[in-house]
Amino acid sequence: MSFAQIRDNDPLIDKIRTMIKSGNVPHAFIIEAPRSVDKTAFASAFAQALLCPVSPGEGCGECPTCRRIHDRNHMDVYYVEAVQKKNSKVASVRDEDIEALQERLASKPLEGDRSIAIVCDADSITPRAFNRFLKTLEEPAPGTVIMLLSENMEIMPQTIRSRCVHLRLNAYGRQDGGEQQTAAAAGELLEGLLDARPYYQLREIIEPQAKSRDEALQFVDALEGQCGVLMTEGISATQRDALYRIIALLEQTREEVRRSDRADSALKKMALAMLSEYTVGGYH
């Protein structure tokens, strides 16, 4: 996949193209998007745009460089991914993988003049590993570009966030019928909160979204996206604070859904807490 194949993110991609063509590429990015958005594919397209000798700033998708990046065998593009430990339901990035990445980034590139690191599930990096990684962000080797892929950058340490350029990635391509229904249900739930509907009505919206863990996680992602839309509208400072608390609540719910066999319970608990936050936030 190249930038030309990614839809609904034209302003973001134009911004990246301008950076690359000007030669002024920051050394670290946080690429934020809901779980349902393929952030790794976008990061790979970004790497192609950085390294492609045929179409710099775009990535042709066809040359040997682009193909090696796509196939994950380019020697200067490093991936770190979360690993699910034994007896754990949650995958996380291992400290030793971050340490190994730092060692690789401290070395000169093998094929060109850039080293690119794509860190998937960066939200799951431990505080200890983040503290260690801070030195790499503060003193990167020349030509280094680090991409931290995140579902919610707010849970990362401020020391990390302040050293990265934030890129918010939208869902690309058209939604299928199931995704459209999930997005519609998320919008209906937030509308119900705004209208101060009773809890039993909110529960009726939630129950169809909790048939499985994956469906519940998609619903949480859709709610987060709807909150992002509200953030762009003319709301008060009090309401904005309430939305920030709700976004933090969504992150907690996401973890509860992942850990629990009862997705419906986690979503109902979320709805009660959200109802409280909206009331406190002065929406009624």
- End-of-domain residue from the set 119, 143, 168: 168
pLDDT tens column, 219-278 = 888 888 777 777 766 677 777 777 788 888 888 888 888 777 788 888 888 888 877 766
Q: What is the mean pLDDT of the chain?
A: 84
Cα(68)–Cα(76) distance, integer angstroms: 10
User: Which residues make beta-bridge pairs with 77?
Assistant: 116
Do 185 and 92 fall within a single domain? no
Residue 107 sits in a domain whose CATH number is: 3.40.50.300
Distance CA 266, CA 243 (A): 19
Range of the domain at 210: 177-280
**How many structural domains is the chain composed of?**
2
244 and 120 within one domain? no
Under 8 Å between Cβ of 35 and 219: no
3-state class (DSSP) for residue 124: helix
pTM for the whole structure: 0.64
First to last CA, the chain: 46
Q: Are residues 181 and 140 in the same domain?
A: no
16 and 104 within one domain: yes
Task: Assess whether 113 and 188 both reside in one domain.
Answer: no
234 and 126 in a common domain: no
Residues 208 and 255 in one domain: yes
